[in-house]
Amino acid sequence: MDTKPGIRPRLGPWHMLDVASRYAFPGGQTVIVLLLLSAPLGLPGQAQLQPAWAMTSVFFWSLYRPASMPALLVFATGLLLDLLAQGPVGIYVLILLLIHGSVLRYRRTLTRSVFALVWLAFIGMAGAAALAEWLLEAVLTWSPVPPWPGLFEFGVAAGLYPMLALYLITLHRGRAAPEQAS
């Protein structure tokens, strides 16, 4: 944004569309990747890649571009993930909203931290999410649930975060950056 005083040219409809699409990119990309991961691709651990992607995406975009990841979008992403996972509806909605709220709460500290501390914060949130998912599923189904799928999901999310974050950082600083709209 130009802060110099003076006359600026009027922003045309294409420029405004460009800016709007860059702001919508994080949510759109999150949903598209979730839908792609629901296709029968035959990837090992594909069912655990969906929540890992959703948690990583909500964590990253809530931290670095919170205007592009509002709570309503996080709610819709969690609902989509619940429907794709075919489990009790509301679990991922709650988990993703808690991650979003936690990131916003500690955003000032996390944005000033080195990557290792941000990754450690994500690992803590992914662990809490796996525990919450296990407890909520046990309570909502009124049956004992084995903890192994949740632990595997936690391991996938924690292990893939650096690679996914590198990809998202590239997008955040590149073509998806609203500041680069022309």
For the segment 90-104, what is each residue's pLDDT rounded down to a tens digit? 889 999 999 999 999
d(C-alpha 28, C-alpha 131), whole Å: 28
DSSP character at residue 87? S
pLDDT in tens, 26-68: 888 889 989 998 888 888 877 788 889 999 999 999 998 888 8
Mean pLDDT of 11-40: 82
Residue-level pLDDT at 2: 57
* Threshold 0.85, pTM exceeds: no
Q: CA dist 160 to 42, 52, 57, 150, 155, Å?
A: 18, 8, 12, 15, 8
d(C-alpha 12, C-alpha 71), whole Å: 29
* Domain locations along the chain: 13-37+48-180
d(C-alpha 149, C-alpha 65), whole Å: 31
